[in-house]
Amino acid sequence: MKHAVILAHPNPKSFNHGVAEAYCAAVKARGHEPLLRDLYATGFDPRLKAAEIPGRHGFKPEADVVAERALLKDASVFAFVYPFWINAPPAILKGYIERVFGMGFAYGPGGDGNAGLLTGRHMISFTSSGAPTQWVHQSGAWDAEVKIFDGHVSALTGLHVVDHLHFGGVVPGIRADVVERHFSEVRAAAAKYF
C-alpha cells in the first residue's frame, strides 16, 4: 500500500516534519511504501494558472502538476501534515489541492455536478497549532477545518476520511517527552488504520 504524505511546513526541524517522519517510519515498518511530498522543500508553486481552470475551452495542467499526479496516481492513502496558521492550512497546501487534486485527477464531471475519482482510497490528517487544542475547539476553528478541509476534500474526491489528529500547544520549547508522546499517537494511528 502506497501512502502519499503531503507535508506543508517550511522548517525542516519543525514538529510537523517530525510528525511526517514518524508516520513514514510507521507505515514502512508495516511493509507499506511511504512517499513524502515536502511541498516547501520541492518548491511547489501553489498558484493556479489560468490554463489549469476547467472551462468551455478545455484546460491543460502544467508540467509540474502532471509530474506530481504521476507520482500520486497509485497512492492508496493520502496523509496531510500541516499547521493551523490563522486557523487554516498554509496557502501552499490549498494551492496544492487546487492544482494537483483538480479536474481529471481527483474528480471529474458526473451527474448533476462532479464525481470523485479517488473512491476506495483513504485520507488521514495530522495538524498542529500553537494554541491549545481546547481553544481550537472552543473558537470553532476545529469544526470549521474539519468541515471545510476534510469534508470538502472528501466530498469532492471520494476519499474516505479515517481520522484527523490535532496536536495543540505545539510551541518552541515544548518538552521532548510531550513531542514523543504525540509521535507515538501518530504511529498508533498508522497501525490502527493501516
pLDDT beyond 90 at 17: yes
Q: Is the CATH number of domain 2-193 3.40.50.360?
A: yes
Which residues are registered as beta bridge partners of 113? 110
Query: Crossing angle, helix 15-29 and helix 176-193, to 10 degrees?
Result: 40
The rounded distance, in Å, linking the Cα atoms of 91 and 5 is: 17
Which residues are registered as beta bridge partners of 5? 36, 79
Tell me, what's the pLDDT at 109? 87
Tell me, what's the pLDDT at 25? 98
Question: What's this model's pTM, rounded to 2 decimal places?
Answer: 0.96
Other CB atoms within a 10 A radius of the CB of residue 2 amount to 16
Contact 152, 144 (CB under 8 A): no
Tell me, what's the pLDDT at 56? 67
Comparison of pLDDT for 160 and 53, the residue scoring more: 160
The rounded distance, in Å, linking the Cα atoms of 140 and 144 is: 6
* Per-residue pLDDT tens digits for 92-142: 999 999 999 999 999 998 877 889 999 999 999 999 999 999 999 999 999
pLDDT beyond 80 at 146: yes
The rounded distance, in Å, linking the Cα atoms of 73 and 125 is: 19
Tell me, what's the pLDDT at 54? 84
Contact 105, 114 (CB under 8 A): no
Could you state, in order of their start, the residue ranges of all structural domains in the chain?
A: 2-193
Tell me, what's the pLDDT at 59? 82
* Per-residue pLDDT tens digits for 26-84: 999 999 999 999 999 999 999 999 889 887 677 889 999 999 999 999 999 999 999 99
